[in-house]
């Protein structure tokens, strides 16, 4: 019987595993990956298949040809915590909805997930709320509440909360949104932000045309500007701070795989996944450098890559089966869509 020799771990990798990923009874990468492999393979139909796929999953991770995302490494086989990495939770224009999203986001981040929020449904700041005769916070006020909650819930955790906020380019508060990270006050340091731009808007920019800013609740034009003014401020802010990004939202919804679940209002924090409300996704990456023969650098092992892709897809599909969620609606959407994300690193 031969023993598989795996590539060594660097000192930095071992330190990171110790500080962030090991459970109290774990002290080596083997311990970590056996826990994860066994749990993910438990989705298989019988003992023989569980053992077979557990060994395959362990080998993929130990060789670093494939690695799952942090929530899987944190939580698999521990009896607690969710395995999905990416979530989208969108507040509607009511206090009940806003604070439900704050609570649900906290539960997601408690287990290590990152959350994206679409703010386009929220009425503009200062709009009168007839039921209370008070004035609306606007998207930025809601974003501040979400940011404070995210910072507090992840204090002392294994990593900081990761978030995304997106807003449509026709919202009356879009200029405040664009510039919310210009000042270095740290209010939104745990958020990426992106502006959703439409084909019509880009056409108006090109033609130096007018652009209407429309309150999503009142459905009326609040202000008309030059489209190029908005585009210029967006670009200058992105140059200054790295934010906002842009999302071609018409193309997103034209190609959405599940249009019956409603329009896409946001992505996850790093924008790999544009998700429905309460949509979520488990992630993993294939490490391309491990398919190169270092003695013959012009050789890339496509056969092994294809095999690893098949195994990685099975791994992530199994994650869906064994996943646990803090909120029933997340599980419902997860089973409807069965979203997985398989990426690459080491390019």
Q: Classify residue 126 as exposed, middle or buried by CB count within 10 Å of its CB (0-12, 13-18, 19+).
A: exposed
Q: Which residues of 64-81 are buried (b: 16+ CB within 10 A; e: fewer)?
A: bbbbbbbbbbbbbbeeeb
Verify whether residue 272 is a known catalytic residue.
Answer: yes
Q: Pick the catalytic residue from 270, 301, 317, 324.
A: 270
Q: Pick the catalytic residue from 163, 190, 192, 268.
A: 268
Q: Pick the catalytic residue from 26, 44, 272, 324.
A: 272
**Which residue numbers are catalytic?**
268, 270, 272
């Amino acid at each position: 019987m031969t023993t598989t020799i795996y590539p060594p771990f660097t000192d930095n990798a071992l330190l990171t595993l110790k500080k962030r990923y090991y459970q109290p009874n774990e002290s080596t990468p083997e311990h970590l990956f056996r826990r994860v492999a066994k749990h993910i393979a438990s989705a298989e139909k019988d003992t023989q298949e569980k053992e077979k796929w557990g060994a395959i999953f362990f080998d993929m991770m130990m060789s670093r040809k494939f690695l799952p995302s942090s929530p899987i490494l944190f939580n698999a086989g521990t009896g607690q915590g969710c395995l999905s990495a990416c979530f989208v939770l969108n507040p509607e224009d009511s206090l009940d909805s806003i604070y439900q999203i704050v609570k649900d986001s906290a539960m997601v981040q408690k287990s290590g997930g990152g959350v994206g929020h679409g703010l386009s449904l929220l009425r503009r700041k200062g709009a009168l709320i007839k039921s209370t005769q008070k004035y609306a916070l606007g998207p930025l006020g809601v974003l501040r509440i979400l940011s404070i909650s995210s910072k507090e819930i992840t204090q002392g955790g294994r990593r900081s909360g990761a978030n995304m906020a997106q807003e449509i380019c026709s919202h009356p508060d879009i200029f405040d949104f664009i510039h919310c990270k210009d000042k270095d006050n740290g209010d939104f340091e745990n958020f990426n932000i992106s502006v959703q731009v439409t084909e019509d808007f880009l056409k108006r920019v090109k033609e130096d045309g007018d652009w209407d800013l429309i309150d999503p609740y009142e459905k009326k034009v609040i202000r008309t500007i030059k489209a190029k003014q908005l585009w210029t401020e967006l670009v200058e802010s992105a140059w200054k701070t790295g934010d906002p990004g842009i999302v071609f939202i018409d193309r997103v919804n034209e190609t959405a795989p599940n249009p019956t679940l409603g329009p896409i209002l946001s992505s996850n924090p790093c924008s790999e996944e544009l998700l429905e409300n309460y949509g979520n996704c488990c992630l993993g990456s294939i490490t391309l450098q491990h398919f190169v023969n270092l003695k013959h650098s012009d050789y890339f092992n496509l056969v092994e890559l294809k095999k690893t892709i098949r195994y990685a897809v099975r791994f992530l599909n199994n994650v869906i089966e064994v996943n646990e969620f803090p909120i029933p609606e997340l599980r419902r959407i997860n089973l409807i869509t069965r979203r997985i994300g398989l990426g690459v690193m080491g390019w």
